[in-house]
Every structure is written in structure tokens, then in C-alpha cells.
Structure 1
Amino acid sequence: MVRLLSRVAQLGQVGSLLLAVALVVVEGLAHALVPAVSLLAGLLVLVAVARTRTVSTRSLTMLLSASTVWALGIAVLTTALGNAEGLSARDDGAIISLAAFVEEPGKLLILLLPALVAPGRMRRMAASDWALMGYAAGAGFTIAEDSVRRLTTATNLWSILAELFDEGTHYSLNPLTSGSLERGLEAPFTGEWVEVMAVGHHVSTMLVAATLGLAIAAWRYAGRLGTSDASVSVGLWWRMLSVVGPVAALGYVITDHAAYNASVAWSGWVDEGGLLFGPLSFVWFICGMGHGQVPVVVLLLGLCLAVDAHRRMRAGFMGRVDPERGAVPPLSGVSARWREPLRAVVAVGVFAWSDLAVILSGYTRPDLTRAERMRRGRRVGQLILQVRRQAMSVTSPGGEPTARRRWALGALVVAAVSVAACLAVGVVIGRSIGPAASSPDDAVFFAGLLDGLASWWDGLNPAAQILLIALGVLALMSMGASAALAMGAVGVVTWFAGHGHGVAAFMRDPRAATASYVRNVTPGQLLMDVVDFATTFIPGSALGVGLRTAERSLSATVAARRSARLPDLASLFQMRDEALAARRAAEAHLKDLLPPGTRMPDFNKRNYEDTLDLLRRGGHDREALDQLREASENCHTARPRAGRITEVAGEVGGLQELERHGYTVPDAFRPQGLEAKPTGPRKVDMLAVSADRGSIHVPELKGGTGRLKTNPVRTLFEGRAPQGTPAYVRDRMLRDDRVIEFFRDNPDLWEGVKRGDITVTSDVISTPEAGFVNRGNPIDVDLASHPQIVTAIEQRIAALGSP
């Protein structure tokens, strides 16, 4: 929330002035902004409620803004598919039915992009993240559709007031009823006059996305059940549920959507629709004729929060923000069957309270100034979000990069199968309707909306059009988009607004529209249309130049953002102190639970399963064994935690020290943060190149009280050598795949190293605490004088192949 407000404040002074002028100059703009303001406020309400989320508010607002533009593509696809299947403009009922089968999966397709581009992040998301992203994706579609509809109808102050008093489309701060429609119709089967409901697109998309998040959790739960026959049988049922659940959810929202559309345009659809409409009308009737989605979404969101809290509880120390807070009671008095589900529900409240208490402590430090309290509170909130991400990370099965590749492939396959099935069924139902249904006009279709949008846009004077373009760019930038992305997105929308009549005519009848354009276009108009299209869509245009400029600086931007995401040293050492305290507390708790005749080493990571089996066969109480298991696993999690934090502190301190002296650290050797895996054995800690490219530095990095290891290790060519010696560094450079790839990609540096023109040095960079860096033990690695190692490196470069 603070990050969003700070970004808005950066553009607020200019944006507020432009908005004030636009509200006065542009007729109907205030009415058209109601969906955007209401649904953005609803998103913030859900963000505040979802206390287990790991996705940032900025990411959600960017998804909302992107889905607003994506709605245009869905609408075009819907109409194009209808035209391809021979559904003419008079077959309005067919297109109404087809819209449900294209729009519902289409809104979710925008989530496929992050699933393919960042599969590692997506597979580690919380279930509540899926619900929030579903809301954002659907909200963009609602904003695009209803805002255009509002711009194309006459509005005044009284219509806006009527909107606020629940007449027409309803918008409020309630995120689940905002954007809904209600209409009086005759109910199927009973014949009674009832109020049927169509929820906003954001609610139906949130329902399906939340079901996807829970399905992922169910699939993973089945994988943890074990290999016994009973466990395999139970796991099979859970995995069947994880497949059937999202399919049923998608079918449910499509049914609601199609049934409402058909009821509006075709009063006799239940009796005249034929065999296909029997199951559709029955499901719609028993699910409340649109009223059932809201309670279902509330239930699913509650389940998502409970599942996320249980994952955080399973993460042990990795899910705790404070060793003294966030402990979930064991509930030993509850039966074993219901204990874990009940603890998960209790954990939602426990974690929410502990997180808010810690954040409040940051904002209310009496010894700090107001500005310092704000900065500290914001930093604490970011750390808590990081703790949640770490908890989701350690409870996500599978190792990288294999799991990441499988996730991307699975997402692509599921999306392709779902879209193909929906399109096939939609076409079958659309053909079955044919011209049986008709609405008074086609204003409800995107072609009609484009006509109205074009008329409204053409009616504005050039100053008002420029003002609205500036407002759109500022709005997208305030939501986190870059200037190039914001200008490109607004340019696409305004192009469609300016050419709405022609696009609408083309969508209705492509052949006739093309023939009419060819017959009537003048050479000058053709040239202007080509230039207009090129500057909006084709790479190499003004927009393309801006995108290429952004692309050239992308690597530098990524490196800068990666450094910015790294925790600062003060936070790292604070986290290290907390980790050490948690480790001592976990070990003390385990020591108090030790049964007679056992010792602490009996419960280390290698032995504790055997020890628990022996105790179980010896007749120990099951509840006491469960407590021992949990205490042991908490120790196993807490022990390496402090070491990993110290290691990252050394990496960050070393990176800052080298960059202060003008060295450049390639991406492959930059620290990746706490969530990434350690560098691993037989690798260099870091590699840096001097500003003049005349020196390569390969330091040993130490954090806290870390020191060089004195035990010698075996090298490939130089016998045994201790850490910090030239032979040790040479051997690690030879074994590290990153070094080989770096020399392969920088042949000029490798040739200089072989000739001895480029020196290779090393030293020890220690970061004992924040603000202090010590350097010592400088050595000359001198690769050039060891031809055997040079030859081995060249062989590895040749085996690696060309880049």
C-alpha cells in the first residue's frame, strides 16, 4: 500500500491537475471512471484481507492495467471466431453464447505469460496470490467493457447518482458485488419472476484462479502422503480432485455467463434451446441463477488463506517473523484427524496478528523521527513479505531448474487444452442457437461498442484527446508501468478508438469492408493510414525506437534491480541475530522434550527418523512423538538459516566493496539473495573485472566472523592446497562452469590471461557487520605460468561449444 501510494504521489501533482481539467472538458469522463476507481479500490481491499499473499501490490496493479488492454484482444477473438464459423451479425444469440466460452478462459490466458516467463516465481506462489491475480485479470476486462459502454451513452449528474444508489450496474467498495448486474426474469422450471444476477468478470475469474491455486496445493499434498497402499489410494483421490476442481469451476462460470446472456436476448431459450440447453439451464438454476458465485468465492478465499497459513506453519522458522511471535498452538486436545485443519485456520489469525504487530512496532518506534519511522515500517513490511515468500519457497517441492521447466511446460499444455475445449464446445452451442435469438441491436457486442467509442472519440476536440492520452500514460505509470509501456498501451487503445468504425465494419463482414475500403480510399488517405498503423504497431517506428532503447538498457536495468532486491547489510545482520536466537530457542525446546536415554545427536537430520521409529516401537505416546518430530524439523530448518544469512551478507558486502573500486561483477557471479541456492562447493565466490579490463579479481568472501579454512583440499593438478592460496583459487576457477562460460563469452579477456597481459588476483573480503569491510591476504593467482591448467580450461571451453 505504501509503495503504491508513493508511486502515485510522484505523478500526483501533474495527474491531478490534468484530471481536474479533463473532468470539466470531457463529457461523460467521470461516469466512465467509476468502474476503474471502484475495482481498484476493491483490489486494495482484497490485498488488505489476504494476509498470506506474497505477490506485491504493484504487480497486481500492473496486471490489472495490462488485462484492460488484453480485453481488446479477447473481444476481437470472440467476434473473429463467430465470423469464421459463419455466425452472421443477425445471429446475435449465437455470438452471445459464444462470448461465454471465449471470454472466461481468455481472461485467464494473461496469467500464462508470467507462467512461461517466470515459472520459478509462479510455482512458488501462495494460493491467495492466485485468487488476487484472478481478480486483477478479470477487473481489467470489466473496466474495459463497462468504461467503453459508459462513454458511448449519454450521462449526467443524475445518472451518476443513480449508479451510487444501486440502479443499473452496481459499484461499491465491496470487491465481490461491485460491477454486478441484476435483472428481473422468469425463472426456468418454476416460472416465477425472480432477480437473476451476473457478477463482474473479476469475480468469475477470481473463482477459477483460486480453484487453480487450491488444486496445486492438493496435488502437492498427494505427493507428500507416502508410498504405502493406503497413502497411494488417498493420494489418487486428491489428485483427481485437483484436476476435476478447476474444470468444474471453469464450467460453472461459463454456465452462469452463457445462461445470463441467453436469458437477456432469448426469453424462450430454456424451452426452445434443445438438448444442449437442458443441463445448462439446470446447473444455472440450482446454483442460484448467478447469486451463487459470491459465496463460493468467499469460501475459496478462506480456504486459500488456510492452505497458505498451513504451508507457512510447515516451513518452521522460515515462516516466522519473530522467534517470540507467530507460534501456532499445538491443539493437543483435538483429535488427530481434525487437528491439522483446525491448526491451519488458527494459523491464519496467528500469523496475521504477528505480522501486523511487527509492522506496527516499526512505525511506532519512539526513538526515531517521523520520517525514520515511516522508512523503518516500510522496510519491516517488505521483510515480512519476504518471509512469506521464503515459506512458500521451502514448501514447494522439486529442484531447480527441472521443476521450473516442468511447470512452464505444464502451464502451456493445460492452457492449450482448456482453450481448445472451450472453443469447441462454444462453437457447437453457438451453431445450435443459430438465428433463433436476436437482440434489438448489436450494441452489446464489441463491434457495436467500437462504433460508439469511435463516435465519442471523434466528437472530442484535439486538446481533449491529447489530455486523455496524457492521463492514460500517467495512470499506467502510477500503477508501475514504464513510460515506454504506458505510451505503447495507450497508443494501441487510442488507435482502436480512432479507427473504431472501420474495425467494427471489418469484424462484421471482412470481405465487404475490405472491398469498400479499396474502392473508396485515396492515395493520400492510404499513405496516412499506413503511417498511422506503422507508428503504433510495427517495430522500427517511434514506439519501436523507444522499445529498442529500453531493450539495450535491459541488462543494466536487470542488474540494478537485482542489486536493489538484495537485502541491505543492516537488515541481513538483524535477520542473522534473529536466526541465531531462533536456533537457540528451537534447540532448547527440543532439549526439553528429549525422552530418557536419548541425546541431541539422536535427533539430527540424519538420525531423527530412525530414533522416532525406535521410540514408536517402544510404546511412546503418538502425540509426544509428533511434538518431537516438529521440534526436530524446526531445528533442522533453523540451524542452516543463520549460516546462509551470514554467507549472503558476505556476498553483498563483497559486491559493494568491489563496485566501490570500479570493478564490474558479471550477472552469473552476482549474489542472488536468501531465496536462491548457495553457490556450492568447488566454485569461486565471485569474479569481477576492473574498469580498464586489465585485471580480473577472484575474492574469497566471508560474512560475520567467518575465516579462511585451514584444512587443505585436493586439487586436480597441484596436490592438496588450503583455502586462500593461489593453487586453491586456480583449481576453483578450473572447476567452475561459470568461469569457463565467462571466458568462452569474453575471448579477448581469456587471450589476455593466457599471455599474462591481464592479471588474475585474489584476496579475502570480510564483512563482520554492517558498515565495515576488511580486506587481507592478497595473492597473485598467476594462471599464465601454469600451462597445464590453461590447457585444461581451453579444453573445457572447446567442449562447451559456441555461445
Structure 2
Amino acid sequence: MIQRHEKQIERIHKWKEDHATLLKRIRKIYIWVIWLMLPVAIFFWLFLPLSRNTVMIWFWSYYALWQVWIISRSKTVMWTHVARFFAAGIWLVGPLCAGLLWSIHYLLADGAASIQEPWSAIILGPIVEEIFKLLPLLLFLFVTGKERQLSLTDYALFGFALGTGFQFMEEVLRSWVSSRESLLGMFISLIYDNTKEWGFAELFPGYFIHGDVIAAGHHVWTGFAALGIGFAVHFRQKLGKWIWLVPLFLLSWAIFDHGAYNSHVNLLTSDIIIEFLHFFTGYGHWYKWLFVLSLFLAVYLDYRTLNQEKKALPLLPHETLLEPVTESIELIKSILQSPKQWAATMLFLRERRAYGFAMALKEREKPRQKIYHHVQLAYHLLGISALLLLSFLAVNSIAVENPYYLAGLFDGLSAWWESLSAFEQISIILTTTLVTALLMLATGGGIISAGFTAIGTGLLAKDTLANSEQIASILRDPKSFFKQLQEDAKEMPPQELMMKLFGLGLDFASRRIPGGKEGIEWLSNLQSKSQQFGKKAKMDGDRGGGGREGNEGTGNIPKKTVTSNKGKTIDVTPTANHSTTTSVPNPAKGTPNSSVDILDKKTGEIKTRRFYGPDGRAVRDVDYTNHGNAKTHPEWPHEHIFKWNSDGTFNR
């Protein structure tokens, strides 16, 4: 399965190389379309509330996602991957859930007339929605085998992104439908305290609150269930197969919490048994705050896992163990130095964690057939859970008013759409399209553009700060700068241009922060205290060692090889002093006994890994690039060996 997946990726890369001109032309068209749409969309955002609501819901959705992103200090994934799961929650999970539920109603019930029935909004809807939101994650793990390389917080991030995307679609539809609410509906909304919580001070904004009862939100429900899956994957060998009951329990709790809230917000009193159990489980509050505590616990467990493999990982000069506070301070210090240093540091820390988890979880791994068996077992348990909840949640009550139920929002959507003017319809279509293309898919990078994808990595990949005199030249001749800005706008979409300006501004600020050196010294002292606290918290994982980054140690890094298309095995084991760059380093002036990955500026992928000898001169390159020319480059990856002459020149 994995080999077939890798071959498909190779074919995609080969197709992209063969059609580079076509892709460049498509990108050019995309840039012009986005620039033309932008002023029109801004006009709609300013003067049409419906369009403005879409943008604001998108902003608050991303704000909640950023909160989890910041808390998840042990993550190994890029923002690219998280943004794509967010998009999957919108365009894959949402339509599938709505389509399935409406199909069930038309096949087994009274169609649109029964979509708001209690058995649908309180029982069937929560079961279908909570299970379907996890399907993209399960499919991703099943096909790619990435469960061996993800941290616990990676699982939480993916689940949270899926739930956030699903909730984004639900809230956009809710805002559209409620904009044409009847007088009776508005009166009910006034007397019935059911409010949506948005705000900068809120943790995971976007949840509903009704009195003492809250609906934690699709992002929290799915994020906690996904974290349970990660916990089962990480500890299945240590704790046995019964560990799979953890994600099953969390999913069942999410379904119950979801259905119980929909039941609670009825105008009449809901079933007393459900009310009692909902009270017993904290009226939704326990689920949210247990998720928060579990997220911090996941960070702790992740770093314990990493420290078990720290012999194989390069450590920074002041590190004796890996822990989140030291890494966070290192990022802050790098910002004070330069944005480019920040980007390189962020990339190094993320890649180190990814390599550590790949090593740690590989040792625990069972044959993949057994993993597939566990996934199939999970599907069976989900089915049993659904049946139990169907029988347990049976309740009679009147129709639900604005529940956490996506399919119910489609009821009356057609009539609402027809009531809009042509101008309003165009504004909604254009705004939604731009939010999707410019502010959502673009943040996921990949096909359309790099966008805001992990801004630091983007700064590194694009190397916008290569010239340290750029700020000075702007101040000396601002007219030329704005002229160059116009030329850049023809070659890049708005989000990339904004990212470039952000990088320049950050560089300007970092060079003028007063007390920068003193701040770095203070942060270094704080790192030492954090290292001591990490040892007291037993984060070390009971295995010592560790290779220093720089010349203070070599580490005990296990051998790593790649196989070329000709079947040749090539040693690509990085040294303890390993770094990355997007510029081609001088082969004659490198750090002794080091290795460096030369990254592609557009994709961020490794083009070449270079190794330096004891004298600081390059000894060999491993070229990963498929040049697409069987005559000049028949083999890939392939090696280039450096041979130095007595006069300091070299031949390869």
C-alpha cells in the first residue's frame, strides 16, 4: 500500500515537471483573477452583512485553530496539513453528512417534513456527524501509514481542524438562514437564551452556551476523539488492545454531548434521563476542559517519548533533554536575531521531532496487517456504539430550534436563497469563493501557492530576506520600492505579497528591538531553569545521551539510507550538526563534520544533502532531484563526490 502511494506521488511530480509551462500559465491566471476579485470582495465585505459574516466566521474559526496550534508544542506537521484537513471538514465531511441524512429522510421518512424531527436532530444527526468527521483522519492513517510518525498533538490538531471546518460550514449556513428569520423566530431567540460565544478571551471560541449548559463545539468534540485515537496508536503495545476503548469512549461521549445539547435547547423540557446524565457529565463543560488537560498531557507524553530517542537526535548546545519551554524560548531568541534565523530554527525543531517519533514508534510497531485489523475492529465498535446510543437517546420532544445539526440548516435554505436579490447572491458567491481560494486553500499551500503556510518556513523557502540591505534601500528610495512592489504583484497573489512585506517588516523590527542581546541572555538563563524543571518532571524518559548541535558532540545517530531507481543503496545519515538552507552553500567553507539540506525554494523539499569533512570542505553531495532527463541523469537519487586539488579548487 505504501509503495503504491509513493509511486503515485512520483508520477504526480513527474507530471508536474513535464507540464511546468502549463502550471505556470494557470498560476498566472489565478494571480490575475484574485487581484481582480479582491477589490470587489472588499466592497461586499464592507457593505453587505451576509458577506461580512462569512469572513468573520472564517476568522474566528482560524483563531480557534491557531490556539490549538500554539498549545501543541510537540507537533510535527506543517500548517499546510492542518489547513487541508480544515478544508476537508468543509467540502468533504459537511456535504457527505448532509447528503446522507437527507437521503435517509427521503428513503425512510417523510423527506424535508421530517428533517427537524427529534429522532433526527437528537439521535441520528449527532451519530452521523461525529463519526463522519473522523473518517478523513482514519482514511489518511489507513492509506499512508503515517500513524508511526505522528505525535499525540498531531492527532488532536487533525481532528480539531476537521471539526473546525465542519463547524465553519454549519455557522455560515446558520448565518444565512437566520438572516431571513421570521418575526416569531426572532421573538423566540430573544426569550430563549441560546448564544454563540466568540471573542479573543475565549478558549476555542465558537461554542454555544445556554444557561449553565454549553455545546463544546465540533472542533472540541472531534479533536478529543482524534486525540484518543492517537493515544491508542501510541500505547497499544504497552497497554494492550483494550486501549482502543479510549477513543470509542471519547467518541461516544461526544455523540451524547452533541445529542444532549440539541435535546436541551427545545422549548419544552427534554427527557429527564438525558438531562440527568448531561448534568452528571458536567453539562458539556467537562468534555471541553478534559480536552484541554489532555492536550497538555499529550505534550508531556510526546516529549517523554522523544527523550527516549534523544541519543539519535541532535541537541542544541544548552540542551540536556528535549522539552517544550526550551524550544519555545529558542524560537523567541531566533526572532530577536532575524526572521531567517527564526525560520531555520522552526524547521530544525519540527524535523527533529518528526525524526524522533519515527524512530520511537517504529520500535513499537507491529506488522501493518495487525494495524488494519485494529482499524476494522474500531469500525465494528463504532457500529455497536451507534446502536447503543440509538436505543439510549430515544426521546419525544418538539422540533429543535437552531440545533448543532448541519442537515437541519438546509431546511428552508432554498427558499432563503430565492428571496435574495441577484446582487446579494453574487456577493455571497464571490465572497465565499475568495475566502476559500485566497484565505483558506492558499494557507494550505500546495497546489495554489505557498500563502501564509507556516510563515517562518515560507520566509525560509522564499528567501525574501537574503539581502540585509533591503530595508535601507527602501528608506533611501521608496519610489523604486513601490515600483518593484507593482512588478511583484504581477508575479504573486495578494497573500504571498503580504507575506513578503510581513517578512521585511519583521526584519526591520528585529534589527531595532532595544536590549536584544540582554534579552537573549535572560532567555538563555530561563532555558537553563526550564531544563532543570524538565528533569524534575521526569520528562527525560530514562535514557541519556544525545548528540550536540555544533562541534560539542557527534551523537549516536542510526544509519539512514535511500535506494536509487537503479537499486543502489546510498548512505544519507545526517551528522549531529545538521542544518537546512535554501541557498547553495560554499563547498569550500562549511562547518567541519557537518551536513546540510539544500531545500527547494518553492516546495521546501530537499534537493541536495551535502556533507562536510573535518577541514570544513565538502566531501560529497546526495542529489535527490529527478531531473527528468534519462541521458544526463539516469539515476536518482545519486551521489557527487568532491575531489580537492592542492590549490584549493575542486572537481566533482
Which one of 43, 46, 68 corresponds to residue 46 of structure 1? 68
Partner of 1:355: 327
Q: Distance in 1 between matches of 2:623 and 2:82?
A: 35
1:149 paired to 2:196: no
Structure 1 residue 270 displacement after superposition: 2.7
Matched, 1:169 2:169: no
1:22 aligns with 2:62: no
- When residues 632 and 302 of structure 1 are mapped into structure 2, their CA distance, relative to the original with a 3 A threshold, is closer
Deviation at residue 325 of structure 1 after TM alignment: 2.5
- Aligned counterpart, 1:480: 444
Structure 1 residues 638, 646: CA separation in 2 closer, same or farther (over 3 Å shift)? closer
- Is residue 2:126 matched to residue 1:126? no
Matched letter for residue 139 of structure 1: T
Structure 1 residue 28, shift from structure 2 partner:
2.2
1:765 — aligned with what?
641
The amino acid that maps onto 2:222 is T
Find the aligned partners of 1:68 and 1:117 in 2 and give their Cα distance: 21
What is the aligned partner in structure 2 of residue 450 from structure 1? 410
Pick the aligned partner of 1:424 from 366, 378, 387: 387
Q: Name 1:197's counterpart in structure 2.
A: 214
Structure with bigger RCO (C-alpha 8 Å, 6+ apart)? 2
Pair 1:437–1:266, CA change in 2 (3 A)? farther
1:72 corresponding residue in structure 2: 95
Q: Tell me if 1:217 matches 2:234.
A: yes
Identify which of 455, 462, 467 aligns with 2:430.
467
More helix by share: 1
Distance 1:180 1:700 in 2: 50
What does residue range 344-743 of structure 1 map to in structure 2 within 5 Å? 351-365=323-337, 373-398=338-363, 403=367, 407=371, 409-410=372-373, 412-414=375-377, 416-428=379-391, 432-433=394-395, 436-439=396-399, 446=406, 448-458=408-418, 459-461=420-422, 463-464=426-427, 467-468=430-431, 470-471=433-434, 472-480=436-444, 630-631=544-545, 637-638=556-557, 644-645=573-574, 693=630
Q: Which residue of 2 aligns with 1:793?
A: none
Question: In the TM superposition, what are the counterparts of 1:237-248 in structure 2 within 5 Å?
Answer: 238-239=239-240, 242-248=243-249
**Aligned partner letter, 1:73:** L
- Alignment check: 8 A CA contact 2:60 2:205 kept: yes
User: Could you tell me how far 1:483 is from its partner in structure 2?
Assistant: 6.1
Task: Tell me which amino acid in the other structure corresponds to 1:303.
Answer: L
The structure-2 alpha-carbon separation of the partners of 1:447 and 1:107, relative to structure 1 and needing over 3 Å to count, comes to closer
Q: What stretches of structure 2 of length at least 5 have no aligned partner?
A: 1-30, 451-539, 549-553, 561-570, 588-605, 611-621
Residue 636 of structure 1 deviates from its aligned partner by 7.2
| SS state at 2:362 partner | coil
Partner of 1:250: 251
Please tell me whether the aligned partners of residues 133 and 162 of structure 2 are also in contact (alpha carbons under 8 angstroms): yes
Q: Which SS does the other structure have where 2:227 is aligned?
A: helix
Counterpart secondary structure, 1:395: helix
The answer to whether the 8 A contact 2:45-2:51 is kept is yes
Tell me the residue number matched to 2:120: 95
| Equivalent position of 1:107 in the other structure | 133
- Displacement of 1:427 in angstroms is 4.7
CA separation in 2, counterparts of 1:453 and 1:207?
Answer: 31
Deviates more, 1:470-479 or 1:40-49: 470-479
Say if 1:453 and 1:375 are closer, same or farther in 2 by CA, change over 3 A: farther
- Alpha-carbon distance between aligned partners in 1 of 2:53 and 2:559, rounded to the nearest angstrom: 57
The residue aligned with 1:314 is 308
Alignment-mate amino acid for residue 282 of structure 2: G
Tell me if the contact between 1:138 and 1:202 (Cα under 8 Å) persists in the aligned partners.
yes
Give deviations 1:162-203, integer Å, cap 9, x for gaps. 99xx9721112356452222224xxxxxxxxxx222111111
RMSD: 4.7
Q: How many residues align?
A: 469
Matched residues in 2 for 1:426 and 1:80: separation?
21
Aligned residue for 2:398, secondary structure, equals: coil
Shift of 1:258: 1.6
* Secondary structure at the counterpart of residue 76 of structure 2: coil
Change (3 A) 1:360 1:205: same
- What's the offset of the Cα at 1:465? 5.0
Structure 2: how far apart are the matches of 1:44 and 1:653? 30
In the other structure, the counterpart of 2:514 is none
Alignment partners' CA distance in 2, 1:694 and 1:439 = 71
CA distance in 1, matches of 2:626, 2:228: 49
Q: Structure 1 residues 384 and 20 mapped into 2: Cα distance closer, same or farther (>3 Å)?
A: same
Once residues 627 and 265 of structure 2 are traced to their aligned partners in structure 1, the CA distance between those partners, rounded to angstroms, is 71
| Cα shift at 1:269 | 4.0
Contact 2:94/2:166 (<8 A) preserved: yes
Shift of 1:80: 2.7
From 278, 282, 288, the equivalent of 2:282 is 288
Residue 182 to residue 483, structure 1, CA distance change in 2 (3 Å): same
CA gap of 1:10–1:179, structure 2 versus 1, over 3 A, is farther
- The secondary structure found in structure 1 opposite 2:198 is coil
Distance 2:541 2:55 in 1: 55
Q: Deviations over 1:565-610 (max 9, x none)?
A: xxxxxxxxxxxxxxxxxxxxxxxxxxxxxxxxxxxxxxxxxxxxxx
Counterpart of 1:265, as a letter, is: N
* Alignment correspondent of 2:619: none
> What TM-score comes out, normalization by structure 2 length?
0.61
Q: Which has the larger radius of gyration?
A: 1
Distance 1:627 1:130 in 2: 21
Whichever residue aligns with residue 23 of structure 1, its letter is: W
Taking the aligned partners of 2:136 and 2:542, their CA distance within structure 1 comes to 45
Question: Shift of residue 423 of structure 1?
Answer: 4.1
Distance across 2 between alignment mates of 1:31 and 1:417: 40
- List gaps (5 residues or longer) in structure 1: 1-8, 185-194, 223-237, 272-277, 329-346, 366-372, 487-625, 658-669, 675-684, 703-763, 777-803
Tell me if structure 2 keeps the 8 A contact 1:179–1:200.
yes
Distance 1:391 1:445, change over 3 A: closer
Residue 774 of structure 1 deviates from its aligned partner by 4.8
Specify whether residues 73 and 146 from structure 1 end up closer, same or farther in structure 2 by C-alpha distance, changes over 3 A only.
same
Q: Structure 1 443/692 Cα, relative in aligned 2: closer, same or farther at 3 Å?
A: closer
What's the offset of the Cα at 1:442? 8.8
**Residue in 2 aligned with 1:140?**
165
Give the AA of the match of 1:181. F
Relative distance call for 1:405 and 1:176 in structure 2 (3 A) is farther
* SS of structure 2 residue aligned to 1:364: helix
Residues 505-559 of structure 1 show CA distances to partners (whole Å, capped at 9, x for unaligned) of xxxxxxxxxxxxxxxxxxxxxxxxxxxxxxxxxxxxxxxxxxxxxxxxxxxxxxx
Preserved contact between residue 127 and residue 386 of structure 2 (Cα < 8 Å) = yes
Counterparts of 1:267 and 1:628, CA distance in 2: 57
Letter in 1 for 2:413: L
State the 1:60 CA deviation: 1.0
Alpha-carbon distance in 1 for matches of 2:305, 2:159 = 21
Pair 1:300-2:322 in alignment: no
Q: CA deviation at 1:145?
A: 0.8
Taking structure 1 as the reference length, what is the TM-score of the superposition? 0.50
Tell me how far 1:475 sits from its aligned partner. Answer: 2.8
Task: Determine the C-alpha separation between the residues in 2 that align with 1:456 and 1:767.
Answer: 74
**Structure 1 contact 208–246 (Cα < 8 Å) conserved:** yes
Give the CA deviation at 1:287. Answer: 1.1
Give the 3 Å change call, closer, same or farther, for CA 767–117 of structure 1 in structure 2: farther
CA shift at 1:98, angstroms?
Answer: 1.2
